[in-house]
Structure 1
Amino acid sequence: MKNSSIHLNRTKLFLFLYLLLAPLLHQKLVAGATIAPPQSTISGTITDMNGLPLGGVNVVVPSTNRGTISDMDGAYSIQAGSNGLLVFSIVGFRTLEVPIDGRNIINVQMEEDITQLGEVVLNAGYYTVSEKERTGNIATVKASVMEKQPVGNPLAAMQGQLSGVNIVQNTGVPGGGFTVEVRGRNFLSGTTEPLFIVDGVPFGSQSLGSSQVSNQIVGGNISPLNAINPNDIESIEVLKDADATAIYGSRGANGVVLITTKKGRAGKTRFDAHLTTTFGKVSNFLELMNTQQYLETRREGIINDGFGAFLENPDFDFVWPDIKSWDNSRYTDWQRELIGGTSYRNNAQLSVSGGSDRTQFLVSGTFLKETTVFPGDSNYQRANMHSNVSHRSENGRFTLNFSIGYTLEDNTLPATDFTTEAYTLEPNAPRLFDDEGNINWENNTWDNPLAALDERYVALSNTLVSNVVLSYQLMPNLEFRSSLGYTNYQLDTYRTMPSSARNPGLGLTPQSYSNLNTNASQRESWIMEPQLNWKKDWSVFSMDVLLGTTFQEETTQQLVLRGIGFPNNGLIENMAAASGIEVISDTYGEYKYNAFFGRINLKFQDRYILNVTGRRDGSSRFGPGRQFGNFGAVGVAWLFSEEPIFGEGSWLSFGKLRGSYGTTGSDNIGDYRFLDTYTVTGNDYDGVTTVQPTGIFNPQFGWEENQKLEGGLELGFFKDRFMVNTVWYRNRSTNQLVGIPLAATTGFSELTGNFDALVENTGWEIDLQTVNIRSKKFRWSTRFNLTIPKNRLVEFEGLETSTFANRYVIGEPLTIVRLYHSLGVDPETGSYQFEDYNDDGAITSTEDREWIEDLAPQYYGGLGNSLSLGNLSLDFFFQFKKQKAYNTLRFQSTPGFRGNVPVELFDRWQEPGDVTNIQRAYSGLAPTGGLGQFQQESNAAVSDASFVRLRNISLNYKLPKLENGLDVNVYLQGQNLWTLTDYRGPDPEQPSNTRLPPLRQISLGLQLSF
């Protein structure tokens, strides 16, 4: 009854107002008062100057609050008066105002405007900032760059693209990891990886693999980032300096990588299909000895070792079957047999998107399958789903954005990387299979490499990343915003090692040898970040204030088991069938994190900008009284091109001078390090499982700190057709958290604590962008980046008397290696010679390793070009590095040992007076065997590994639009197609003879949109 009464009273009030105002309104109308003009539907198509449709263009009628957005085909429709005005705007194009003049169909072409830096919005994490007004250093890679690279991991698409960011691929097999460094190595221990954030949610990039379970291929480094489909990414921003990273506090010491996934766009419902097939091959084979060269040096080594008389004695044939038992005329190129295959990657993606100007959606599903270049049927499979929904209320005060991604991965690989065997198997080794097609053991005289295919390594993972962002406009200048995120990463791996994979001559049985190693691990995290944002603009002054707090909790658990002894190899994957089970590792970690952060941005006259950020972090990884740390930064920018002296026609179209200083920190030491900790040993004592101490109580250590200083100059010339950004930076990291070794009598291996050491990273970064040609038909643009880094250990109190004395040197980089100084080969004895630094008449492993080589890049960068002619476009990108690396002498420096070696070892010392760099041959049977081991750890094993690589190339053709509205793109892409280098080794960027180098890949692709 009460509600009915209220409704009746409101009806009476509206009726009274109508009766009161109706006569007045009638008089105004009769007197010729202004009447709203009749509305009609205006529609049309929006294209660029090349005739390609433009989706996402804002179409507004200025005299009203009415507006719409063009769909993916460039079509729009809006209600407007016949004498009104339409305004078309989109980032990167000049705003266009078009009178309606009574027309119902208005088709427009928009001209690209590369000078609108103020409209290019960058993701800075907790806020967005325009490229023009940013005070911090934010580098970005857009989807347009990633889509042109045939890669399965987003880190591969970033290689060489960004200054100050060094990314190295660890292996050429799918599912492997990457090493990422932003502006060098800051700390003595701990990871160098930056903080990864996906759609506002921290994403753990550290692998949960176990070295006891994993194979040689990935070495436990299974990258969780494989779960993110590069084609689902809209942009990747890398925050580098203090101004950009300090708002992340302790998590931003090594930089921050922000990954933003794609969202739906307003317009009609759109379906997109993307099909790709990729072929991969090893790009470089080593030059190894042939059979004649190998047998000659092998026999020579046996004779040099004094065993020549036994070569004719059949009783010793088992000692050197490669010479006596095997066919000495046989030759097999084992590189082509074992790593010379072709890998195939098939990728299929289907997405649907669309929505209104208030609600947009996107749903995408992808399936990928990739094989390897190894023998067998190993493969990597990934299925992932990505969806996003965005909504805003009718009055625009409430917005919601929800995104979720889920990925399943199934990686089945051999338990052994065949790369090592491909480089070292004897060239006259027997056939892989006998006449009946069985594994050939050649009378048990060799270990057939294909027997390793009986061993299985399987990695199963599922990854969930979800986030919801809610915002509400409390007042015209005040917004409340809250981000809620949840991630769950599960990895289950197992490795089977059956007795059938071993030489039958060893007499192994399933009961005595066969074993199963398993790893079950999980990382679960949730985060909540409520925020308040207040903005106010005055005539010449504006202020932007952000306040927020973070609550995060992460749990990690891992159980590694080994089952030994099975009734038969058919039951080897059933742990319950094992005769004994050993607990290798059983760990649990809980990490709690809380922070308060804020930002104040002040802008005066649109040219003077001050940005202040701060954060107070609390971490459960430190003891009582040490859990909180304060971090912050100040950034300033002066847009001097906005000064009155620079007019519209000035050759300097953009100029900005900026700088920043601040501190970030790190708590990246693992959980519970300040407590007494123990681990299960896996051994039983009278039926009771035993544990051993692993950590000793020490609540005194605290935060590592990284002080960052930067200055930058950004210039644009000739309406920004020539843009250059030059940066100098200096990062100084102190209060180093390291494990301090303890005496064995304490029962503990180390004590975690702070070292009074100072590490400094300095460098120059240069980014260049040019628009060389821009016409209606043809465009040519160039981008270039160069990084010149320098790392050094400035201070380390007590270094000479510490256990780190053999690893670090004051004034030298952290990336140095200490080596012997090779003096070549003694012409009289044929042995390697080395400098005796301490003059004691002997070469020792400690005092005589004084030669220093730095294996970090001296400089690196990339050069890319983009050309388009009508519907045809060509993009290619070169990556380059100036660096040193271990060469093939690192892995073998003595001819005559069993196993093939690089052909350069054939030019060896043979008799007194010979001048050569390779010592005489040895068989490996004598106790001495020469000084080859010292040579492998000398400066002779390090050489120039600089390179210029055609990292990727893409040729794309967009077919003319079909009558049914179908858009068709076809393309050809290549990755790692060509490398210019003098390096002697498998690959200059990944110089290892134990892991497969990155592959050369070619992709054929088709995109359909309708």
Structure 2
Amino acid sequence: MKNNYTTKGRSLLFSMVFSCLLPLFTHAVQELQIHGLITDTSGHPLAGVHVMVEATKKGVVSNFDGSYSITASTGDTLVFSALGFVRQTVTIKNGTAVNVQLEEDITQLDTVTLNAGYYTVKDRERTGSIAKIAAKTIEQQPVNNPMAAMQGHLAGVNIVQTTGVPGGGYQIDIRGKNFINGGTDPLFIVDGVPYGGQSLESTLVSSGINRGNVSPLNAIDPLDIERIEVLKDADATAIYGSRGANGVVLITTKKGRAGKTKVSASLSTTIGQVPRFMELMNTQQYLEVAREGVVNDGFGAFLENPAFDFIWPSLKTWDQNRYTDWQKELIGGTACRNKVQVSVSGGTVQTQFLVSGNYQKETTVFPGDGNYQRMSGRSHLTHHSKDERFTISLSTNYSIEDNKLPRQDFTVLAYRLQPNAPALYHENGDLNWEDSTWDNPLASLEQKYRAQSNTFIAQMNLSYSLTNNLELRSNFGYTNNQMESYRVFPSKARRPNLNLDASSSSFDINTSSRDSWIIEPQLNWKQQYGALAINVLLGSTFQKQSEQNLVQTARGFSSNSLLFNLSAARTIEVFRDNNSDYNYQAVFGRVNLNYRDKYILNLTGRRDGSSRFGPGKQFGNFGAVGLAWLFSEEGLFQNSAFLSFGKLRGSYGITGSDNIGDYRFLSTYSITGFDYNGVSALEPTGVFNPNFGWESNKKLEVALELGFFNDAIRLNTAWYQNRSSNQLIGMPLAGTTGFNSLVANFDATVENTGLEIDFRTTNIQSKHFNWSSTFNLTVPKNKLVRFPDLENSAFANRYRIGEALTSVPLYQSLGVDPDTGLYQFEDYNNDGNISALDDKQWFEDLAPEFYGGLGNTLSYKNLSLDLFFQFKKQKAFNYLNAGAMVGFRQNAPIQLFDRWQNPGDSNPIQRASGLARYPGVSEAEGFQRESNAAVSDASFIRLRNVSLTYKVPKSLSKGFDMNLYLQGQNLFVITNYEGPDPEQASFEILPPLRQVTLGLQLNF
């Protein structure tokens, strides 16, 4: 019995094991290695497509050439998915080769994920106002600075280039100027790390070229950028608290993708020129008004006096028939920029990497060998654990900038130098001083200016999924920006008759640095309860920024060859020696509720702590609420062939500002730059006042987003109102107090309102030909709503209730008095005198009345063409603001030739004056420069960008991806403005250049 039982038991055990192993054996036998190629409808390979076995959830990612390989079984279903393409499923039947062609999903493309800073959100589900510009648009523009690539493309974002000099800065405001004494600079975030957008340059060193505005954003190569998002309303910016009062600019750089290792190279050459020259008086016209001015001043007899030869050589000793177009001589050159960039990227599903480097060199349109160089290297590494719970990403960016320019911007000389001025050089090549009768403009080439910057940005992000619904994350960032700039003024750069030696030479040097680190731990929880999705984010911020700035001037050298050696100077004066620390701490949170994918509530809050306020005032609370209703998901519209998307959203919240500088609540002192008995002197610059606190910016927005005909037409409109109060203003103090001003909170309110329209259409979409258009329009309005007792304050002659902060008070010009030939002005108080306090009652707003852009993209097979027009309706100061009278020892615009000459004349320009000795002539000219006559229409339509790209067939490129492109920037401007550039509106600074680029892009 025992043996029989044992035998039966063994048989039973064997049967059980066999029955358990049979399915596994059968499955193993049926497993197949599936492979294939994934392409789009045009046959181009698609990399990064996720291929997943639906039953096992195992997946791979397609390689750079679109190929993939995955283990599956007969009867399994493969799921192919990629952002921007329709999800596709394929059931495995017979064979191991499965090739798939994915179709573009227009709806999905319009609902891409947006970066909102601490979280991401789908475009269709966002409750806040977020504008975006993608890498494709950025790459089509031959620009050095990310802000240049944004100009005109984003509604509510107004960007102006301040100079055409390489390495120069930009002014940016997002939805207007909010604070009376504050700037408009937004918060810049680069890959999650705050980045100081303020220049480290000193105006004491750079005057004449960059005006102390060397943009730190030049360190970021636009070709390295994946996308830029701009956060505008309270819902989008409140999570940044006080730092988001003026908006937030999020810059995301490119990262590696899983797939075959990819090598990309880009080479380009750009040439640039000044696009517009002013029409100035020629030699005979200039000499006519100059002689007339001397006679009008009662010094006509001196024209025959030999002693007058040296005082006014252009009328006496210089060639009276000579003519030089100084615009062509001084700013009429051709700037050249050569640029090369190489990147290597790739990786597996778990680990992706990217390494890139670039170099560029750009010359100027000025005479001489001035140039700007930039070298940078960047790396990014992302790794996911096999179970995808742990993720780490590391990125670094290091750049070196070397800007060597003449100390002086030649633009102002190009407009003012007398047309019969002597030749620049003698025949032997030496500078021509014409017997010391003039200051040769090229002498400034000896006055060297150089700015060297080193920028390092490092970021690390760690995340770990504690559960499927709970993620712990932390962001670490560090930035270091160093700048050293100098200007040299050697004695040989001055007229020989001054008999100066090296003891009169000077060397000014600015040494500045800015360090910042940030740590942001975060906890993210999400849960689905039936039709309700909940997403909760909690986090905190710890940030510290340190800045050092030292400005010195050395004088009295024994030799010009020792100018760069401070120890060789007789005297060294310290004009500025600042060391400041800024500490910032915060806690923040976000709760997002999404019911049935059509009712969305977003709550954000932040408590900020800033070292810029005194005890008891250091913390502020900020928050916002955002709502969205996707009414296109209602049953009434779900099957509509006309309306494919509809969303109504709104937001309200409060952000703050501590943008007043460091230590303003303390008593502060500065070095005067002068010695007192050999001891450096200090002077008080700030008075103790711990009572001022946070500025407040209340933001309201209502928006409607619509999509028609399967989103072939998208129309987004938004109305906003921002009210900024509790203004931090430097209240002027009497000189007897020993201080210039006292920082305090004023119960003043500034209001910004506006309408934004963003319109996008897909006009034609076929196999070979595609055409799409974009249009954006912003209609802003700024005004001072409240300022108690303004009329009795120190700001009475600067601001007015109901007027914009960008409005300037002006005299009201009444033209030229036909009897005296002098400008006349409205005497508002009828006291018989014209004064700034009582008679500057005419206000002109110099901010745009509206602005926007219009773009079109057309492609036919391998050829694509992009055109983008920028437009603005605005007013600006005209040539009269730079000079409203002729007769001085300088040239002038041809419009000033139409001057008063005899009693009874009704010409628009007052009488000529050479020495300003006629009674009242100088005062009248000064009043006219600050009158409404000096403001005119500066509206324009600019062809900002043209890009023509040809994708070379692989049969010709030997299997490589090769693109040839021709790009143009600032090609022409349609405007009635009589000046160099209607947007910059300056007669002293080099205008933005017209640029044409030829380039080649290769992918291996």
Q: Which amino acid aligns with 2:657?
A: S
Query: Is 1:307 aligned to 2:299, yes or no?
Result: yes
Cα pair 2:296 2:918 within 8 Å, conserved: no
Q: Is 1:939 aligned with 2:967?
A: no
Equivalent of 2:707 in 703, 708, 716: 716
Question: For each residue in 1:539-589, what CA deviation from the matched residue of structure 2 results, as whole angstroms up to 9, or x when unmatched?
Answer: 211100000000001101111110011111111111111110001000010
2:344 maps to 352
Of 207, 215, 219, 1:227 maps to 219
Aligned counterpart, 1:320: 312
TM-score, normalising length from structure 1? Answer: 0.97
Contact residue 815 and residue 908 of structure 2 kept, 8 A: yes
2:601 alignment counterpart = 610
Structure 2 counterparts to residues 554-633 of structure 1, below 5 A? 554-633=545-624
Give yes or no for contact 2:754–2:779 (8 Å, CA) kept in 1: yes
2: CA distance between counterparts of 1:403 and 1:486? 11
Query: Is residue 276 from structure 1 mapped to residue 268 from structure 2 by the alignment?
Result: yes
> Match of 1:786?
777
Shift of the alpha carbon at 1:359? 0.3
Structure 2 counterpart of 1:737, one-letter code: L
Match of 2:650 among 623, 634, 659: 659
2: CA distance, partners of 1:22 / 1:590? 78
Cα drift, residue 649 of structure 1: 4.1
Specify the alignment match of 2:48 in structure 1. 56
Classify the secondary structure of the residue corresponding to 2:217: helix
- 2:838 counterpart of 1:844: no
- 1:836 offset after TM fit, Å? 1.1
1:612–1:672 CA distance, 2 compared to 1 (3 A): same
Deviation at 1:310, TM superposition (A): 1.5
Q: Aligned partners of 1:33, 1:439: CA distance in 2, in Å?
A: 94
CA contact (8 A) 2:424 2:442 kept: yes
Encode CA deviations 1:4-36: one digit per residue, 9 max, x unaligned. xxxxxxxxxxxxxx9998752412456999635
| 1:957 corresponds to | 950
Residue in structure 2 matching 1:761, options 746, 752, 756: 752
Is residue 66 of structure 2 the alignment partner of residue 74 of structure 1? yes
- Alignment partners' CA distance in 2, 1:265 and 1:31: 38
Picking from 857, 869, 889, the partner of 2:860 is: 869
The 1:824/1:31 distance shift into structure 2, 3 A limit, reads closer
What is the distance in 2 between the residues matched to 1:718 and 1:73?
34
Q: Equivalents in 1 of 2:24, 2:122: separation in Å?
A: 48
Deviation string, structure 1 residues 794-827 (Cα, Å, up to 9, x no partner): 0001211111111100110000111111111122
Q: How much has 1:80 moved relative to structure 2?
A: 2.2
Cα deviation, residue 961, structure 1: 1.8
Match in the other structure for 1:148:
140
Written as runs of structure 1 = structure 2, the 5 A alignment for 1:633-712 is: 633-712=624-703
Deviation, structure 1 residue 751: 1.0
Amino acid at match of 2:718: V
- Cα 1:234–1:244 shift into 2, 3 Å: same
Kindly indicate whether the alpha-carbon contact (under 8 Å) linking 1:59 and 1:89 is maintained by their aligned counterparts in 2. yes
Could you tell me which of 979, 982, 989 is aligned with 1:988? 982
Supply the distance in 1 between the matched residues of 2:12 and 2:706 (Cα, whole angstroms): 64
Displacement of 1:909 in angstroms is 1.5
Please list, as runs of the form range in 1=range in 2, the aligned pairs for 1:89-108 lying within 5 A after superposition.
89-108=81-100
2:102 is matched with which residue: 110, 121, 126? 110
1:874-885 equivalence runs, <5 A: 874-885=865-876
Query: Given that residues 83 and 109 in structure 2 are in contact (C-alpha distance below 8 angstroms), is that contact kept between their aligned partners in structure 1?
Result: no
Aligned partners of 1:927 and 1:905: how far apart in 2?
Answer: 18
Partner in structure 1 of residue 812 of structure 2: 821
Change (3 A) 1:545 1:436: same
Deviation at 1:735, TM superposition (A): 0.5
Secondary structure in 2 aligned to 1:302? Answer: helix
1:715-762 deviation line (CA, Å, top 9, x unaligned) = 000000000001000000000011111111211111111111000000
1:856 to 827, 847, 853: 847
- 1 CA distance for matches of 2:697 and 2:62? 47
Cα deviations by residue, 1:35-89 (Å, 9 ceiling, x for unpaired): 3563333222222222222222111221222211122322222222244332221
Whether the 8 Å contact between 1:215 and 1:414 is mirrored in structure 2 is no
Instruction: Provide the residue aligned with 1:899 in structure 2.
Output: 890
Instruction: Label 1:906 to 1:927 Cα distance change in 2 as closer, same or farther (>3 A).
Output: closer
The residue number in structure 1 matching 2:408 is: 416
Any conservation in 2 of the 1:117–1:131 contact (CA below 8 Å)? no
| Residues 910/79 of structure 1: CA separation in 2 closer, same or farther (3 Å cut) | same
For residue 954 of structure 2, give the secondary structure of its aligned residue in structure 1: coil
Which amino acid is 1:940 matched to?
A: A
Please tell me the residue identity of whatever aligns with 2:129: N
| 2-structure distance, mates of 1:344, 1:442 | 33
**Aligned mates of 2:254, 2:642 — CA distance in 1:** 37
Contact 2:868 2:946 in 1 (8 A): yes
Distance 1:111 1:117 in 2: 12
CA RMSD of aligned residues (A): 1.6
Alignment counterpart, residue 458 of structure 2, candidates 466, 475, 491: 466
What is aligned with 1:362? Answer: 354
Aligned to 2:908: 917
Q: Is the 8 A contact 2:238 2:604 kept in 1?
A: yes
What residue number does 2:3 align with? Answer: none
- 1:468-505 Cα deviation digits (max 9, x unpaired): 00000011110000000000000111110111111122
Letter aligned with residue 702 of structure 2:
G
Q: For the Cα contact (< 8 Å) 2:362–2:372, is it kept in 1? A: yes
Q: Could you say which residue in structure 1 is the equivalent of 2:536?
A: 545
Equivalent in the alignment of 1:11: none
Q: Once structures 1 and 2 are overlaid, which stretch shifts more, 175-184 or 748-757?
A: 748-757
* CA–CA distance in structure 1, aligned partners of residues 11 and 206 of structure 2: 84
Q: State how far apart, in whole Å, the 2-side matches of 1:32 and 1:490 are.
A: 64
Asked if 2 retains the 8 angstrom alpha-carbon contact of 1:495 and 1:517, the reply is: yes
Partner of 1:7: none
How many residue pairs match? The answer is: 992
Q: Distance in 2 between matches of 1:629 and 1:178?
A: 30
CA distance change for structure 1 residues 89 and 19 in 2, over 3 Å: closer, same or farther?
Answer: farther
Matched, 1:258 2:258: no
Which string of whole-angstrom CA distances, capped at 9 and with x for unpartnered residues, describes residues 684-708 of structure 1?
A: 2233222111111111000001000
Structure-2 separation of matches of 1:885 and 1:909 = 25
Q: Letter of the aligned partner of 2:946 in structure 1?
A: I
User: After superposition, what is the alpha-carbon deviation per residue over 1:607-652, rounded to whole angstroms, capped at 9, x for unaligned?
Assistant: 0000000000000111111100000000000000001111334311
Report what 2:7 is aligned to. none
Structure 1, unmatched stretches of 5+, are 1-17
Structure 1 position 855, deviation (Å): 0.2
Question: How many Å apart are 1:915 and its aligned residue?
Answer: 1.9
What CA distance in whole angstroms lies between the structure 2 residues aligned with 1:689 and 1:641? Answer: 72
- The 5 A counterparts of 1:766-777 are 766-777=757-768
Aligned equivalents of 1:775, 1:53: Cα separation in 2: 19
Structure-1 residue corresponding to 2:376 = 384
The residue identity in structure 2 corresponding to 1:954 is S
Q: Secondary structure at the match of 2:778?
A: strand
SS at match of 1:846: helix
CA contact (8 A) 1:485 1:528 kept: yes
Letter of the 2:720 partner, please give it: Y
Amino acid at match of 2:228: I
